[in-house]
Structure 1
Amino acid sequence: MMQDHDKTLYDQLLPLYEMEGFDDLLFKLTPTESNSERLIIKMEVRKLMSACSRPVDLRGKVVGECRRYFLNNVNHWLDDVAINLYHRRLDIYQGKMTQGLWDDLHNTSNSYRVLQRQGDVRAAESMDTVETVPLRFGHYLSRSENRIQISSRIQAFLPDGTEVNGSTIDLSNSGMQVKLPAAFRYDEGSTLVVYFPQLGDECRLPELFSGLNYRVVGVELNFNKDSFQRLRLRLVTSTDAIKNAIETKSTQDTVSSRSENEDKFLTTRSKSYEQIFLEQTSSLPLFFCGNKLRYSLLTEQNRSLWDYWHDERNLPVVDKLFSAARLQHLALEGLTSSETLVYCFSHQHSDKTFFFSACPTELTPELRRLFWHVGSSRPSWRVLRVTMAKINEEDTRRLQDISPAYIQQIDELTHIATIQDLTLETVNSDYRIPIKPKLPSRSLNQFVHERDPIAAIDAVPSVLAPQRKEPRYQHKTGTILIHHTSGELHGETIDFSPHGLNISLSGPFSGSKSQEVAVTFTDLKRVDPNAPLGNVPYKVIQISEDRTNVKLALLKDRHSKHRSHYLQRLIEHNQHKLMLDSEKLPDAPLLSAMHQMLLTRLSVTPYFLVRRGETLQVSGIGTNYPGSELSRILHKSAAAGMISLAPVLGEHLSKYANGVTRQRNRLEQIRHEFYVAATIANGVVIAVKSRSLDSFETPEERKFFISQAKKRGKFFAVRNWMQPIDDGSQWLNSETSEQLMKLSTKRTAQLEHEFADLCVYGEMSDITDEVMMRLEMG
């Protein structure tokens, strides 16, 4: 086979072989070669142009399906890549099957021999894959027409005229799903001309032989790296030929038809990824009824943010973050959505916790610098982004079908707020770069929150599962609680469990959460003096607003196991006398409605990584449309119809995800900060450069990068957050899988393998405004 650098030379010489002027052309094209070298080239041309009567049989030699073709009076077995190459190269070889053409057909880009030589076998990819098809959250495929599942041979011509052969998977009046060779590129939005030779012959419809225009509306990820790419196509040509073919085939007993089967796979996949996002997001969603905060939606990852907004009594005070003045600004009439940064810290005084918070618009430059200096040096320093969106009539109409019984409750909701924690400990010193103003610290007292009253906020878990570690039982029995400052307080139990206690006290308790107390069960000790229920050490979990009700957890010491076992036996022997304190689970329809409203209002860009051998791949990136500016950059930097993390992470997923994917000393979560410069010309992104925070040595170097980025186009700062996924299969419903198995065992297996290989959930947030404010460049 000719070398790549010789290919241009030979392509000019081969069509003129044995024709007048060949020697002159050879001399002109090789002015620096010697006569002996020209002779070698001439001999190579003679060899390439020698007649070849051997058949080409590529079965088992290429990645793709081969078909039989009768060419030059010989039967050949070629795949789609080879047949297209044959037609393109035939004129160069003067319309004959020659040794050169025979060699070309055996050395196509999808030949196993070529792949092996290049070290590019698909089963052992050497680079992480950062590009994927976007997942449109909150949007599911639906059809107003039935489809039939039918496998029928088709011929498709790509926009550049390349012919590919494939088959249908299912067919409807307005669209179809097809399998075409994976060796070719298919751009979403492009138009294909499709011929139906088999269907036209079976249904006797001449129009199916003339070619129909279809637009590519979906390209599925080829996770198995097999030889086929699945496409969803929409019919563009106005015709009844497909409708007539479906009616004809539907009347035949040999056709196995199942309606909407592929949509079920796509919807199941989307909903499973959505569930991961809803249960793993680090953002804290809040639901308002007018000016009143009504619900918070809790996940494992946002619980720390929820717990942060609890005072020394462990009572929720996050509603104080939304003062009347801030709500008026965030929920301004006529705005569909708004957002602001909020700087926060807490201060302990007289065993009480006081929270301070301020938005940039509430601070003068001097007050802002004072707030930064005082707050950023404390462990309680937080930088939050609050996004507020209005619940509109479209939401109500969409939710009527989901939760008709709860429509009145949903109607009462007016706004959704999402809190993102943008704090990164390594950049806290940035806030102390400006000179501290000569203002007294008491100037910040205007930003302190009121402590009371405590709002009744329902903390709704994002998953319909019991949250308690053990059952609780209602029972009243006398107790004495001893605390180092409150002294001795008499009371009685409200409910208890082997490891927990809820007590009503005769007087106010002056302690704080996490402090230790000793509890004696006086009534139970009188019944059994030997019971290990005297001076039992407990830790304070929560204190009521009037401080007369305390919730406690048993402290672990060398006697705690004996005490909990005693209480467990006490419960078991008195089951008939005790009333179970049932845990109140969230209403499923209301929770579903909350989820639907969140999915259409993404404040972050969620993404999911799977492990394929030794590499990581992006299996999905959640989006809304039209999406944020960051999301649009991720779209513009990818192929048509795709979305990519490359503008931020480059092609180094493994490097940045190592902390949460390694087997030993694995981290629970990691955070990165990236600075991204997008060069834009005539509204088109022509280059993107990304640098991680740790690649800069000084703040001045970061400022220079930002200024240069803004001169050339756009600057973005991105906060990237990752956490490990231990068992991705748990989000693929087993009952749904069983139903899908009836439609296609292969597609179901692909879906199960995809979720079994999930290893990382991540989120990206655009923090450009926060960085520009922090570095005082905006």
Structure 2
Amino acid sequence: MVDDVLLKHQDLINELKSDLGTAKFDNIFRKKTESLSKPDQFLIKMEMTRLSQPVARFIDLRGQVTGEVRSYEFNGKQHFMDNLAIEVFEKAIKQHGDYTLAVYEAVMNTENNHKILQKNAKKQALTKPNEPDRQVKKLECHMVKFASYETRIEERMNYAIKVQIQISPSDMMEASTSDISVSGCKVKLPVRYKLKREQKLKMRLVGLEQDFELGLKKGIEYEVVAIDSINNDINHIRMKRTFIECNASFDDFLRSFIHGNKRRYKVNLDNTLDAVIIKGYEQYYLPRVTSLSIFLAEQDDILTPTLVLSNENNIDIIRYFNDENKNFILTNILNKPRLSHLLAQQGHVKEGLFYCFTHISAGKIFYYSATDYELNQTPALKSLFLGFGSSKNSWRSFKVQLMPSHIDDAFIPLSLPETASEDVAKLNKPPSPRVQGVIQGAKYLVLLTDITTKQAQIEYKKNKYNKAQVNALKQYGHAKQAHYPDIDVVPLEYINLRSETRYLYKTEVQLEQEERGKVTGFTRDFSENGLQIELPQPMKYENGDLLLMTLPDLQKITKKHNLNNLPYEVMAVSKTKTIINLRSYRPTENSEHAGATFFTQLIDNNKSKLKASAESPKIPGLSTALRNMLTKSVCQFPFYIHKQGATHVVGAIGHGLYPSPLHLILSQYGLLDEYFDIESLFSNDILHELFIPKLKDMKRQDKPFQLELYLRFNPAAKDIKTALICDYIPLTATEINKQSFVKASIKRELFFGFRVYLSRTGRPDTEYLSKELSYITQYAIHKAKVLEEELWSVVGVGEILDITDELMQRFGIDPSILVEMDKRKTLWMQRLISNL
């Protein structure tokens, strides 16, 4: 009934909010409500009282609004808000004189808040005339909001006991707790008792004193943190202890009492349940990210790459930008002019393209690169660069995305309170001073994605050029430097990163290569398909070299396998040229390899005797810190394929801090709720005829399966089914067929081109989630099982990357047509923000 009354007078309440906090509010309230009944007047007055209560809530709008979010400090507390929210916040603070609930709600209800946009979109959809009845359909997909989990400082036990609160020597009131922890509590109190934030008071735990001798006749001092209105009669007063008593025995008693009774009383698990699901999906996605994560630090007013987070899928980009002396030449590519041009763009995520090829002369590798902006500025050389560069085997096309990065995001604690166990307290620590020193100064994150395809390279080769002018490309060349800035490559630590366990073992090996002769060394470790070899002197082996390996000592223990002249490929070489990583070489995918067969049997028969190799990170905790910073800045469209019985579904999509165009399209039609229909993007035909057969043939360590998605979007359509035309295209399809779709789309509607990546998943990283899963299991084992079943059902993980600009360059679309379409895209964005 209360909600009905407030809803009935919502317009009046909104009017009164604009005057709340002013000196004349009581008079204004009286005049505007004089025609209402006394009960209605009372309820509206209580609503105004609720909005006037001071609060201490932390505001974090990252990923929740369309505006660009930045840090903002108020009264010593750091918030994250965009310009619109800051404007609303400062205006509301001035009006109300304090940080009250009215201020908080005003900031959380700005017109560009995603929840408000979705709410309005649903409301608009329901009010549209002549819309056919919609059949209720099973919604199979849900959204996973990355890094959206919260942390409790300590365990709170839902426990109701009688307390006495003393505001002054002559003012005592009876109340009861709602929950209690060592350092705070929440108390139910009638609304007639007026308390203020930061007010200090004394409280006696009379319910406990009846059964225990606490020695607290004078009570415990608490400070009011916040006041939450529950209904017309009751407020929840959240309080923290001041610890002015310094009573260690009582602290120990309360800690022991909570620990001993938390199985009898309900422990709030909501935030931990959410955290396990979100972290589980994050851990599936991050090792399969195809983009190389590069962190930029500011040094002498110049942004410079200093840290790179690598995984299995992006390691080839690192190898490409290592020259003949293993110098990482990335600073040449991401130079000051190019970064300055990117930073001058509008929006959260700055985007661009660049093309690169190499030329080898006198055993040295020389790099040539140009951005799309640079080529458009020099049209006379554009066809020359694209045509000549794409004719070389070293040709690469890259997409660049640049966004802010905050070192505060390096710490994502467990969702568990530190009081849960000693192990949790040890793990719930921010990055070490050493790690903080390494990441200090990291201001931006660059995602570099290799989007090269053979078919696209063929298309770029169609650019006609005069071979006599090739020397003009020198202006795009990167000169050799005497010294290259150090860039630390940090591998992403993840249980599934290594497809095979390596075992420590030392035995003699003999390596032979035609150009460099024979050398004898020793194994450091081996797995089924690989070895790490240590040599007595440096050898000029390079990645990709083929060697013949003989194992004389191991040959003595087997007659079944011939361990002479086994072909192996060089995968990595240390800077000292003495440590070599080798992988078994197979001319074809199904070829047998005698060495791999031997090591597989050796491991199977001797697992109890062999010692697994545990690789220690160079700087413990650095990989985790960078992974957290990356998690906080996801800007692609992750999706997950689940196996449900005999069928497969796209069961979840990920949403990071920055929405992709696909997120925006879904949000226009109110489809980013907790559960929604994703069939408009992933139809059953596409899923079961294209994705699933490929997924079944893949192994977890395989490179992602790739294809392109061409999307024709009519933003004026009433529903998403009529708004979208999706065409999934194999990378081998001819460009003629692709161009016809693109040209038909861009003239009147909006065209988006995407690269789709699909990988096979391994088992979930339950070690990473073990503490939180164990905690849930203690109090709700059935919920833990449901979580594990959901995560174990994930068989595929993918991501979708916007490559519209590259397609326009590749197809040579008329720039004037593109300008018109970009205007329509901008108009669509504006309408999405203001009219949804």
State the distance in 1 between where 2:672 and 2:597 align.
65
Relative distance call for 1:581 and 1:562 in structure 2 (3 A) is: closer
Relative distance call for 1:429 and 1:562 in structure 2 (3 A) is: closer
User: Max radius of gyration: which structure?
Assistant: 1
**2:449 paired residue among 420, 436, 443:** 420
Relative distance call for 1:747 and 1:430 in structure 2 (3 A) is: same
Task: State the match for 2:772 in structure 1.
Answer: 736
**2:388 paired residue among 355, 374, 379:** 374
Relative distance call for 1:694 and 1:474 in structure 2 (3 A) is: closer
Relative distance call for 1:537 and 1:314 in structure 2 (3 A) is: farther
* 1:358 correspondence with 2:370: yes
State the Cα distance separating 1:269 from its structure 2 match: 0.8
* 1:366-765 paired onto structure 2 within 5 Å: 366-392=380-406, 395=409, 402-403=430-431, 405=433, 406-436=435-465, 440-450=469-479, 453=483, 455-463=485-493, 470=502, 484-485=514-515, 496=524, 499-503=531-535, 505=537, 509=540, 512-515=542-545, 551=580, 553=582, 583-625=615-657, 627-639=659-671, 641-642=673-674, 645-651=678-684, 652-662=686-696, 669-681=704-716, 687-692=722-727, 694=729, 699=735, 702-703=738-739, 705-728=741-764, 730=766, 733-765=769-801
Residues 386 and 417 in structure 1, CA contact (< 8 A), matched pair in contact too: yes
State the distance in 1 between where 2:796 and 2:651 align.
10
State the Cα distance separating 1:731 from its structure 2 match: 6.9
State the Cα distance separating 1:676 from its structure 2 match: 1.2
Relative distance call for 1:333 and 1:401 in structure 2 (3 A) is: farther
Q: Between the two proteins, what is the percent identity of the paired residues?
A: 21
State the distance in 2 between where 1:564 and 1:616 align.
36
Relative distance call for 1:494 and 1:442 in structure 2 (3 A) is: farther
* 1:325 correspondence with 2:325: no
- Report the secondary structure of 1:403's partner residue: coil
* 1:287 correspondence with 2:295: yes
State the distance in 2 between where 1:639 and 1:533 align.
59
Residues 717 and 771 in structure 1, CA contact (< 8 A), matched pair in contact too: yes
Task: State the match for 2:353 in structure 1.
Answer: 341
State the distance in 2 between where 1:397 and 1:627 align.
23
- Report the secondary structure of 1:720's partner residue: strand
State the Cα distance separating 1:463 from its structure 2 match: 1.4
- Report the secondary structure of 2:689's partner residue: helix
- What do the CA deviations read for 1:605-658 (whole angstroms, capped 9, x no partner)? 111121112332233211134523332113334536256644433444223312
State the distance in 1 between where 2:510 and 2:717 align.
77
- What do the CA deviations read for 1:243-284 (whole angstroms, capped 9, x no partner)? 59xxxxx9xx99954232122111111111112222222221
* 1:18-167 paired onto structure 2 within 5 Å: 131-132=141-142, 134-142=143-151
Give the TM-score normalised by structure 1.
Answer: 0.58
Q: Look up the equivalent residue of 2:441 and give its one-letter code.
A: E
- Report the secondary structure of 2:270's partner residue: helix
- What do the CA deviations read for 1:707-749 (whole angstroms, capped 9, x no partner)? 5534544221121111112434747734432321223233222
State the distance in 1 between where 2:522 and 2:331 align.
28
State the Cα distance separating 1:434 from its structure 2 match: 4.2
State the Cα distance separating 1:336 from its structure 2 match: 6.6
Give the TM-score normalised by structure 2.
Answer: 0.54
* 1:773 correspondence with 2:766: no
Q: Look up the equivalent residue of 1:272 and give its one-letter code.
A: G
Task: State the match for 1:58 in structure 2.
Answer: none
State the Cα distance separating 1:502 from its structure 2 match: 3.5
Residues 418 and 603 in structure 1, CA contact (< 8 A), matched pair in contact too: no
State the distance in 2 between where 1:650 and 1:308 align.
37
Task: State the match for 1:239 in structure 2.
Answer: 232
State the distance in 2 between where 1:397 and 1:543 align.
33
Relative distance call for 1:706 and 1:516 in structure 2 (3 A) is: closer
State the Cα distance separating 1:242 from its structure 2 match: 7.7
Q: Look up the equivalent residue of 2:381 and give its one-letter code.
A: L
State the distance in 2 between where 1:682 and 1:534 align.
68
Tell which has more relative contact order, 1 or 2 (C-alpha 8 A, sep 6+).
2
- Report the secondary structure of 1:272's partner residue: helix
Residues 729 and 752 in structure 1, CA contact (< 8 A), matched pair in contact too: no
State the distance in 2 between where 1:671 and 1:323 align.
30
Relative distance call for 1:469 and 1:504 in structure 2 (3 A) is: farther
Q: Look up the equivalent residue of 2:316 and give its one-letter code.
A: S
State the Cα distance separating 1:139 from its structure 2 match: 1.8
State the distance in 1 between where 2:411 and 2:760 align.
37
Q: Look up the equivalent residue of 2:459 and give its one-letter code.
A: D
- Report the secondary structure of 2:723's partner residue: strand
Q: Look up the equivalent residue of 2:440 and give its one-letter code.
A: D
State the distance in 1 between where 2:656 and 2:493 align.
23
- What do the CA deviations read for 1:650-675 (whole angstroms, capped 9, x no partner)? 44422331243336999753212111
State the distance in 1 between where 2:314 and 2:347 align.
27
State the Cα distance separating 1:140 from its structure 2 match: 1.2
Q: Look up the equivalent residue of 1:239 and give its one-letter code.
A: N
State the distance in 1 between where 2:798 and 2:549 align.
45
**Corresponding pairs, count:** 551
Task: State the match for 2:74 in structure 1.
Answer: none
- Report the secondary structure of 2:714's partner residue: strand
* 1:202-217 paired onto structure 2 within 5 Å: none
State the distance in 2 between where 1:559 and 1:146 align.
57
State the distance in 2 between where 1:711 and 1:563 align.
61
Q: Look up the equivalent residue of 1:367 and give its one-letter code.
A: L
State the distance in 2 between where 1:616 and 1:333 align.
41
Relative distance call for 1:438 and 1:688 in structure 2 (3 A) is: farther
State the Cα distance separating 1:592 from its structure 2 match: 2.4
Residues 677 and 715 in structure 1, CA contact (< 8 A), matched pair in contact too: yes
Task: State the match for 2:279 in structure 1.
Answer: 271
